[in-house]
Structure 1
Amino acid sequence: MNEYRIPELAKKYVEHDMIITHTELPEFPDFRVRLLYTLLSEGKASAEHHELYALVVSLVQMGLDIHDHIDTDTAVLSQMRMRERQLNVLAGDYYSARFYHLLSQAGQVGMVRSLSDAICEINRQKMNLYILMRQQKLTAEEYMAACTELKSGLFAGFGTLLDEAHSLLWPELLADVSRCDAVMDELERVSEPLRFEGSWGYWYVLELGTEEERLKLLQHGREESYIKLLSRKYDLRGQLIRMLKQAVQQLQAAADKLGSDKLVDELTKLGERILRPFAAQAAVYNEMR
């Protein structure tokens, strides 16, 4: 397998001067892209374009992610805030548009159609999730499952390009890595009171907290001291770290079915990369072996 260099290739398209000056770039979807790259590079039918496919899907994902981070506050905004919002919209469109150009240059019209269909389906799923959130009809696990599905949406269709044995395991492998990404997002949010509202921790407390806690959370969902109190009481961070470790273990169990020592080794290293930033916390919770 060739050296993995997708993040470096993506910089050419991502790090536009105006975008990096005026917007906050989303995280590169490295773990899902690494998984896709690894499996595509081993396939008889997909190896030729494995780098191109991994690059374009990373650009589309970043385009979707930057749109998700756009401030939707309906209050009157300053000229600077309005300009930032407009640039975020344009940046997301720019990233998404690049995949058309790259794939058409390579004559991959069918993949353009496949990714376009996936984007439409993701937007439909997002709307359904937002409706449930507004109606307060979500459990914490339903929220996490929805986030996991959204993160896997762009990548799911590539399973048809893999060798038969790998294709059968692709949904399981992708779901495990996507859940890892979803959990890591929530680990960031649980530590940021301004982003706590609507997070996994938020739905967990609404589901399992006392009546008093639920009412106060609905009224003061961004109050820093109260969010920290709830986080400690319900060990939200500890629960998420345990969830992350479980997802990595499931990834490893699925990888063991691939029948390739090379792929097992690559995915073992992927799992280690996922857990590395949280090793200290996991040790505190007695979760590391």
Structure 2
Amino acid sequence: MITLFTTGNEIQYLTSRIEQKLQHIYLDKYIQKPDIDEDKLYLLYKILSNTKLSQKQMERYIVTTMLVQIALDIHDQIPDVNNNQDKDVMIKNQLSILAGDYYSGLYYLLLAEIDDFSFINKLASGIKEINVLKMTLQEERTHLLDAHISNIKELESLLITHVADFVNESTMILVTQEWLLYNRLVKELKMKINNNTEKNSLGDFLICNKCNLTEKQLEEIILNKGQYIKELLSELPDAYSDAKLHIVKKLGCEN
């Protein structure tokens, strides 16, 4: 059993465990290594560390949830099919689809090892809701900003809020939803500044494009969200004091 002493060390350890699960000699040769969302990993860790779960249970829940997130992100990154694509590009896209399926299967294997079917059902329910929400966003005909932002906020945080609900730890749910939305908005602003239209893990659901937001309008929304998050953090109990400092520091870096 490995003893961990600081949040930084624990996050680093969890990252290494996820990376170990993601290793695949053939896939690593042909496609880019998937990204691990550090903010989602951090939130999962802080939520679960405030429960009575054992270290082993925490690790399994976090690693499997992050594998699901990575699998969903990979599927979002796959470009639309184009018959005029170069053969190598087509092969890479096909491998990306297989990689997403491969990573999805890993979390079932991990949970089966600990016979935790209730958690499997919880994550499966989350995946189903995410897919329904993505279809809603794709078919969405309204350009109402509040409605679109609300849907994106739910999409970004749904897996983590499902896990929080499963372990009966709701303290961080609102902060989680708002912080992940804030991060999403910041990513979109950077893309807009760089005129980046390439399909990536944001998929086809860009708020700035859907609602015709200008760079200035997006900056104003981000600023207001940052202030709101600080207000939410001030209401968190002392058990989350290090999480408060961590998020406030990250908010400061973005401003």
TM-score, normalisation: structure 2: 0.82
Q: Out of 146, 149, 153, which is 1:144 matched to?
A: 149
CA distance in 1, matches of 2:137, 2:157: 15
> Structure 1 regions of 5+ residues with no counterpart?
209-233, 283-289
Higher RCO (C-alpha under 8 Å, 6+ residues apart): 2
Residue 148 of structure 1 and its aligned partner are, at CA, apart by: 1.7
CA distance in 2, matches of 1:151, 1:266: 19
Which residue does 2:110 correspond to in 1? 102
CA distance in 2, matches of 1:46, 1:95: 25
Percent identity, aligned pairs only, is: 23
CA distance in 2, matches of 1:26, 1:274: 25
In structure 2, do the counterparts of structure 1 residues 82 and 36 end up closer, same or farther at CA, with 3 Å as the change threshold? same
Q: Out of 199, 212, 222, which is 2:206 matched to?
A: 199
CA distance in 2, matches of 1:121, 1:248: 27
Select between 64-73 and 152-161 the one with higher mean Cα deviation. 152-161
Q: Out of 4, 14, 18, which is 1:6 matched to?
A: 14
Rg (Cα) greater in structure = 1
- Answer yes or no: is 1:254 the counterpart of 2:232: yes
Select between 267-276 and 66-75 the one with higher mean Cα deviation. 267-276
- Asked whether the 8 Å contact 1:149–1:178 carries over to 2, the reply is no
CA distance in 1, matches of 2:172, 2:205: 30
In structure 2, do the counterparts of structure 1 residues 275 and 99 end up closer, same or farther at CA, with 3 Å as the change threshold? farther
Residue 37 of structure 1 and its aligned partner are, at CA, apart by: 0.8
In structure 2, do the counterparts of structure 1 residues 157 and 176 end up closer, same or farther at CA, with 3 Å as the change threshold? same
- Answer yes or no: is 1:272 the counterpart of 2:254: no
- Asked whether the 8 Å contact 1:60–1:95 carries over to 2, the reply is yes
Q: Out of 16, 31, 35, which is 2:24 matched to?
A: 16
Match runs of 1:1-289 below 5 Å: 3-4=10-11, 5-45=13-53, 49-132=57-140, 136-162=141-167, 166-167=169-170, 169-190=171-192, 191-195=194-198, 199-205=206-212, 234=214, 236=215, 238-260=216-238, 262-273=239-250, 275-276=252-253, 278=254, 282=255
What is the letter of the counterpart of residue 256 of structure 1? S
Residue 7 of structure 1 and its aligned partner are, at CA, apart by: 1.6
Residue 34 of structure 1 and its aligned partner are, at CA, apart by: 0.7
TM-score, normalisation: structure 1: 0.73
Which residue does 1:221 correspond to in 2? none
CA distance in 2, matches of 1:96, 1:157: 17
Q: Deviations over 1:97-144 (max 9, x none)?
A: 111111111221211111111111111110111111xxx422344333
- Asked whether the 8 Å contact 1:33–1:54 carries over to 2, the reply is yes
> Structure 2 regions of 5+ residues with no counterpart?
none
Q: Deviations over 1:6-65 (max 9, x none)?
A: 222111122433333322344312112211211211212576522221111111101000
Other structure's SS at 2:32 match: coil
What is the letter of the counterpart of residue 177 of structure 1? W
After the TM superposition, which parts of structure 1 deviate over 6 Å for at least 4 consecutive aligned residues? none
Select between 149-158 and 61-70 the one with higher mean Cα deviation. 149-158
- Asked whether the 8 Å contact 2:48–2:167 carries over to 1, the reply is yes
In structure 2, do the counterparts of structure 1 residues 67 and 108 end up closer, same or farther at CA, with 3 Å as the change threshold? same
Q: Deviations over 1:54-96 (max 9, x none)?
A: 1111111010001001011444322112101111101111111
Select between 92-101 and 188-197 the one with higher mean Cα deviation. 188-197
